[in-house]
Structure 1
Amino acid sequence: MEQTTQAAAVRTVLGDIPAAELGVCDAHDHLFFRSPLLPGQELTDPLAATRELRAFRELGGRAVVQWSPFGTGRRTDALPRVSRDAGVHVIAATGLHQAAHCTPGVLDRVMDRLAELFVAELTEGVRQDEDPDGPAEPVRAGLIKVAGAFHGLDTHARRVMAAAAEAHHATGAPIAVHHELGTAPLDVLGLLCGELEVPAAKVVLGHLNRSPDLRVHREAARSGAFLAFDGPSRANHATDWRLFDALVALAEAGHTDQVLIGGDTTTAAARAATGGGPGIPFLLRVLRPRIARELGEQSADAFFVANPARAFATHWH
């Protein structure tokens, strides 16, 4: 695994911070998110986002990584204010989701210059989703979000991942991957870390709890990538009961230092502050104490503090 040094930094919406200052981290969530596949459940309200973060902070939370990429209503205009008001570090994403999740018309304007867009958002500032040629917000992204397909990689996924790899090589930014129903992490590693030569320690494999294949998890972990277990999610809770089986299996195989935990709140109904929950606070109210009881405080600290600091810090180019 890559070792973080004092020169490595996490790029938040309020500026770069030393990795050691990140603190207790929700490694995969959404404060703002909009998708044609989730009509009526958009996350658009800054006050609701602030309330959710304040509840998280009251339980000891200090950082949230938002995986909403370009074209999904990520509200970079509101993120700095929400971060300040709640007293929580927020990391924003560039990148591109599956085509079905993107705002209609967005893909036509950006597909021919994805790498250029990603690099600009990481180094200069994030563009408004509706106007990728307009002025950048004074907010820089801190990671690149991409997405695979169900049990494989389609043409869209390969094209976006190739651009993400190019942007990584230009900037050093970590790449976070949505796996459809938790599938195809080995395909992703073969492309990103094999063909495209992205160091595995700069790759975060998301949603692995949705396909609790412990053998695949262990094989993916042997690559050196980070493995994100981002539930429970109201929309994807069928395998919640297998989460601890997966965490224990990875710990017993010696991969405690590669596990990340997130909430993946993608709908208004899933918020704790304004919906039916369980929301972001659940991670510290319920999951962290259970992890500490099952695997010990050292593992809990690794999952929520040490591992995110290494996964999302880099030597920015």
Structure 2
Amino acid sequence: MSKVNTVLGPVAPEELGVVAVHEHIGYGMPGSELDTRWWKTPEQRYEETVPKLRRFREYGGGTFVDATGICNGRDVDYYKSLSEKTGVHIVACTGFVGGDTALPYFARQSVDQLTRLFVHEITVGIGDTGSLAGVIKVGVSRGGRMTELDKRIYRAAARAAAATGVPVLTHLAIDPEPAVAVFREEGLPLDRVLFGHADDGLNAPKTPHRWIFEQGGRIGFDTFGYETELEDPPFWARPRQERLDHFLGLLNAGYLDQLLVSADANCSPLGWPGVKGHTVNYIFEDLVPDLRGAGVDDATITALLEDNPADFLTIRA
């Protein structure tokens, strides 16, 4: 039976509904929990998060993939409570946002040790939560080139993905050649990899989009909403129309089956204020209307938001 791991247990792919495939319940850099300026009570975190997830559900959203890796604020018991409270399926990940966010304990581990960690969290559980990870997170460290630690994490992720059948989601799609080489050496089909953040203003110019497609990989246009038109845009922002035109160009070139979309929003940021005015619900409030306004039909929108992510997240035993 086909299934997807969520924090409340396995779910059939057809039950996922609309999927936000790259989001965060609460993301922060390692150590942010020690900065008293940013301490939040459980009540404050719920106050910031629950209305966003409830609105997501009201709009028709079914599944929220939390791409927060180990060391960056992952809190699976909290995710379980939120899922029970809002009715939104939440998929948790194992892995790391990038080698530069892996604390020394993990950074010193071998490929075999990291592989065992990822496999354990996918097949046995994350800590004592009883929840299984549904995706593996990897990433390119700051600087725009994969470090030796990044490559070690990617190799462990590839081995764990091949062994368990869960997919891999990357932070950034820049410098993909060494990543593709690792995945191929480990026998992981590239349609099991979603190269994320291929659309942000900082990295889109450096990302070989069509080359990734030609290798068989999937691409995430998953920073929709981080726009230069915001009152206080982040450094990775991009003009709204420019991003949309870029996306439509790839869509019209025949890459629909390999494209996924999301907003990479942070429900309750940890250690930083976040980006005001940007939530996961940009998908429904702005992206879908923009796509329809550009002439994209409902079948294509369904493929982007339901069919493609369901296929990506389904465990392939």
Q: TM-score, length-normalised on structure 1?
A: 0.84
Q: Does the aligned pair in 2 maintain the 1:292–1:299 contact within 8 Å?
A: no
Q: Which residue of 2 aligns with 1:200?
A: 190
Tell me, what secondary structure is at the counterpart of 2:21?
Answer: strand
Counterpart CA distance in 1 for 2:267 and 2:100 is 16
Partner of 1:217: 209
Q: After the TM superposition, which residues 106-117 of structure 1 pair with which residues of structure 2 at under 5 Å, given as runs?
A: 106-107=105-106, 113-117=113-117
Q: Is the CA contact 2:3–2:314 (under 8 Å) kept in the aligned structure 1?
A: yes
Question: 1:43-62 alignment to 2 at 5 Å?
Answer: 45-62=45-62
Q: 1:29 aligns with which of 13, 23, 38?
A: 23
Offset of residue 266 of structure 1: 3.9
Deviation at 1:186, TM superposition (A): 3.7
Q: How does 1:114-263 map to 2 (within 5 A)?
A: 114-127=114-127, 136-149=128-141, 150-179=143-172, 182-192=173-183, 194-210=184-200, 211-213=203-205, 216-231=208-223, 232-233=225-226, 235=234, 236-238=236-238, 240-263=240-263
Distance 1:187 1:246, change over 3 A: farther
Q: Is the 8 A contact 1:37 1:100 kept in 2?
A: no
Indicate the larger mover: 293-302 or 155-164: 293-302
Q: In the TM superposition, what is the alpha-carbon distance from 1:108 to its structure 2 partner?
A: 5.5
Q: What displacement does 1:201 show?
A: 1.1
- 1:275 Cα deviation from its structure 2 partner: 7.1
C-alpha separation in 2, matches of 1:289 and 1:71? 36
Residue matched to 2:229:
none
Q: CA deviation at 1:188?
A: 2.1
1:195 Cα deviation after fit: 2.2
Does the 8 A contact of 2:174 with 2:208 survive in 1?
no
Contact 1:269 1:277 in 2 (8 A): no
User: Structure 1 stretches of 5 or more lacking a match?
Assistant: 1-6, 128-135
Say what the alpha-carbon RMSD is for the aligned residues.
2.6
Distance 1:10 1:80 in 2: 15
Task: Name the CA distance, whole Å, in 2 between partners of 1:198 and 1:49.
Answer: 35
The one-letter code sitting in structure 1 at the alignment partner of 2:50 is: T
SS in 1 for 2:208: helix
Given that residues 94 and 135 in structure 2 are in contact (C-alpha distance below 8 angstroms), is that contact kept between their aligned partners in structure 1? yes
Kindly state the Cα deviation for residue 100 of structure 1 after the two structures are TM-superposed. 3.2
Q: What's the TM-score, normalizing by structure 2? A: 0.84
Q: How far apart are 1:175 and its partner, in Å?
A: 0.5
Identity across the alignment (%): 27
Separation of aligned partners in 2, 1:312 and 1:82? 20
1:308 aligns with 2:309: yes
Distance in 2 separating the partners of 1:184 and 1:201: 18
Q: CA deviation at 1:306?
A: 0.8
Structure 2 residue identity aligned to 1:173: V
